[in-house]
Chains A and B, each alone.
Chain A
Amino acid sequence: MRICRCCAATRRGWSRGYEAMIDVDSLSVTFGHGAAAVHAVRRISFHVADGESFGLVGESGSGKSTVLRALSGLNPHWSGRLAVAGKALERRRDTAFYKQVQMVFQDPYASLHPRHTVDRILAEPIAIHGLGDPDRRIAHALDEVGLGAQFRYRYPHQLSGGQRQRVAIARALILEPKILLLDEPTSALDVSVQAEVLNLLHRLKRERDLTYILVSHNLAVVAHMCGRLAVMNHGAIVEEMTAAQLRAREPSHPYTKQLLVASLGYDRAAIDQFEDFAATA
């Protein structure tokens, strides 16, 4: 088995008998060509052990969602090496990949088909993957995310934001994947609903031994959900740290320090000290 050079934490994880579930090695994503090229992700590497929750933190435009989109196969314009459960990924993914890896998107208002009922939304992945017994699977999936049978034949516009995000999570889980890629799953929700959805994600992870990659701009959400995290700025990882280091407020990079200060709330004096961290080539 390969030993990772970049992150001691994963190495520790392996020594305890875990295996790397997700490997990202010098991943780059570039949009456009020539002078107009935008380097959204610049040679980043990280590894996520089986059953681990890994956080990607950064501001908008830092490339954190692009990493998830490259991993999930939504963006073919990447270079580097991606592997899931030891198997290297191609540009095109087969159905077996999607049975293993599912994604939950940020905006539950945009990610559900407005003219499909919850029943039809959940039936589609079952049909695509040729799994039998849709009736039982749908009832079970709704039950698992805390939605009763009465929601089954409703349309998305008849649901609240939190209920829609539960449907999106049910749709991802119905294939019984090993990995969930979570792209800001609670940032469109009220704080009270956010707590419910975060608790739900926690419980599902415990029960099903899932591996999570959680993308968020909210340090508190990542500290709550993840054991380890990487901080991204301008497409590069500036720092990788454990949640314990984050809780102890011991960042080593000035950009992470600034994010931590900002997460404390409004402080006029601190704001005047804010710097604009430029891209490092």
Chain B
Amino acid sequence: MSTSRPLLDVADLRVDFATPKGVVQAVRGVSFTLGREKLGVVGESGSGKSVTGRAILKLVRPPGRVTAKRLSFDGIDLQACDEPAMRAIRGRRISMVMQDPKFSLNPVMPVGTQIAEAYRLHGQGSAAEAKRRALEMLEAVRIRDPERVYRAYPHEVSGGMGQRIMIAMMLIPDPDLLIADEPTSALDVTVQLQVLAILDDLVTQRGMGLIFISHDLGLVASFCDRVLILYGGRVMEVCDAKRLGEATHPYTRGLLDCLPRIEAGHADLPVLRRDPAWLEQGI
């Protein structure tokens, strides 16, 4: 699946936050490359997975400080890009679905107008064309009554629907890379899988790259091609998603073992043990 040049090349990415109590290292030297594939980023809260996603889009605000040996997207050095250059990339070429739709949608604008705006800002279609595309996109993310939802305000839709609206808005400019930060965690299992199928089709049919941030190991193992395991801002392990079950790192094993299983009995679940020494050994 990988072409000669990766879509995204990240080397030694570091994100520091200077606080009154000292510097917090949210990301400590993360390196990976991404082709036209689905890469899962897994870790507990605080492991730096969301900050990694935001750093790629240069959305980390002061006092956060981002440094990297290399941060290149499709041959463009993102570190050298100024704000106008980044604005041309954000949304149109790299887009990001944030975790919480409540804080990502404009509360005083109907959702349909927001999706159509995303299309017109990045494409050049007419208003009628934008509306047609927005309705198509709402249907694609399995919203049953797109005409009604198109006119609805964000407070009038449920959390799950809000997440699907966000996904529709982020997909409408046809990005080359989608960073999805827990995009389906508020959805029911069946709807979640249906939305993932849409993302999957975009990756296989259009060659989009996908960074899928999640804490659901079972889902990532079955959905993604490769998985990056983060702990304390460091990469513990990169493995083939199909072989996640054979992972050897104690942290990955711990995350896998603490999941309840339908087949297992009522015995107590193994509790994850964390070892600060892992932070020195990360790759």
Which residues in A have some Cβ–Cβ distance to B below 8 Å? 59-61, 161, 190-196, 198-199, 202-203, 217-221, 223-225, 243, 246-247, 249, 258-260, 262-268, 271-272, 274
Contact in complex: A265, B219 (CB < 8 Å)? yes
- Complex alpha-carbon distance, A191 and B219, angstroms: 12
Secondary structure type dominating chain A contacts:
helix
Report B-chain residues with C-beta under 8 Å of the C-beta of A199.
268-269, 271
Of A60, A246, A266, which contacts B188 at CB under 8 A?
Answer: A60
> How near does chain A come to B83, taking the closest CB pair, in angstroms?
33
Of B196, B262, B269, which contacts A219 at CB under 8 A?
Answer: B262
Contact in complex: B261, A224 (CB < 8 Å)? yes
- Complex alpha-carbon distance, A129 and B236, angstroms: 50
B73 at the interface (CB under 8 A from A): no
Contact in complex: B260, A198 (CB < 8 Å)? yes
Give the one of B158, B254, B266 with max A CB within 10 A: B266
| Interface locus among B10-18, B87-95, B210-218 | B210-218
Report A-chain residues with C-beta under 8 Å of the C-beta of B196.
266, 271
- Complex alpha-carbon distance, A263 and B218, angstroms: 9
B189 at the interface (CB under 8 A from A): yes
B263 at the interface (CB under 8 A from A): yes
- Quick one: CB contact mask for B169-209 with A, threshold 8 Å, 1 for yes? 00000000000000000001111111011001000000000
Q: In chain B, residues 240-281, which have Cβ atoms closer than 8 Å to a Cβ of chain A?
A: 254-255, 258-264, 266, 268-272
9 A-B pairs (CB sep. < 8 Å): A60-B188, A191-B216, A192-B258, A194-B260, A196-B271, A202-B268, A220-B262, A223-B260, A266-B197
- Complex alpha-carbon distance, A259 and B259, angstroms: 18
Report A-chain residues with C-beta under 8 Å of the C-beta of B200.
266, 268
- Complex alpha-carbon distance, A113 and B203, angstroms: 44
Q: In chain B, residues 60-89, which have Cβ atoms closer than 8 Å to a Cβ of chain A?
A: none
Contact in complex: A192, B272 (CB < 8 Å)? yes
Which of the four size classes fits the interface of chain B? 35 or more
Task: Work out how many contacts link A and B, with CB atoms closer than 8 A.
Answer: 104
Which residues in B have some Cβ–Cβ distance to A below 8 Å? 44-45, 158, 160, 188-194, 196-197, 200, 215-219, 221-223, 254-255, 258-264, 266, 268-272
Report A-chain residues with C-beta under 8 Å of the C-beta of B44.
190-193
Contact in complex: A265, B258 (CB < 8 Å)? no
Contact in complex: B258, A271 (CB < 8 Å)? no
Of A191, A203, A260, A262, which contacts B255 at CB under 8 A?
Answer: A191
Contact in complex: A191, B194 (CB < 8 Å)? no
- Complex alpha-carbon distance, A258 and B270, angstroms: 29
Contact in complex: B193, A224 (CB < 8 Å)? no
Contact in complex: B271, A266 (CB < 8 Å)? no
Contact in complex: B271, A220 (CB < 8 Å)? no
Of A61, A202, A221, A247, which contacts B263 at CB under 8 A?
Answer: A247
User: Which residue on A lies nearest to B273, using beta carbons?
Assistant: A192
Report A-chain residues with C-beta under 8 Å of the C-beta of B192.
262
Contact in complex: A59, B262 (CB < 8 Å)? no
User: Which residue on B lies nearest to A162, using beta carbons?
Assistant: B45
Q: A60-B188, A267-B222 are in contact. List 8 more A-B contacts (CB 8 A).
A: A60-B158, A198-B260, A259-B190, A265-B218, A266-B197, A268-B197, A274-B193, A274-B194
Contact in complex: B188, A59 (CB < 8 Å)? yes
**Nearest 9 pairs between A and B by C-beta?**
A265-B222, A195-B258, A224-B260, A59-B188, A266-B223, A192-B272, A195-B269, A266-B222, A262-B189
Report B-chain residues with C-beta under 8 Å of the C-beta of A192.
44, 254-255, 258, 271-272
- Complex alpha-carbon distance, A269 and B96, angstroms: 27
Contact in complex: A194, B193 (CB < 8 Å)? no
> How near does chain A come to B20, taking the closest CB pair, in angstroms?
16
Contact in complex: B272, A195 (CB < 8 Å)? yes
Report A-chain residues with C-beta under 8 Å of the C-beta of B189.
59, 217, 259, 262-263
- Complex alpha-carbon distance, A212 and B48, angstroms: 36
Contact in complex: A265, B223 (CB < 8 Å)? yes
Q: Using A195-B271, A224-B261, A265-B221 as known contacts, say yes or no to A190 and B190 having CB atoms under 8 A apart.
A: no
Of A194, A217, A263, A267, which contacts B262 at CB under 8 A?
Answer: A263
- Complex alpha-carbon distance, A202 and B266, angstroms: 9
User: Which residue on B lies nearest to A58, using beta carbons?
Assistant: B188
- Complex alpha-carbon distance, A267 and B222, angstroms: 7
User: Which residue on A lies nearest to B158, using beta carbons?
Assistant: A60
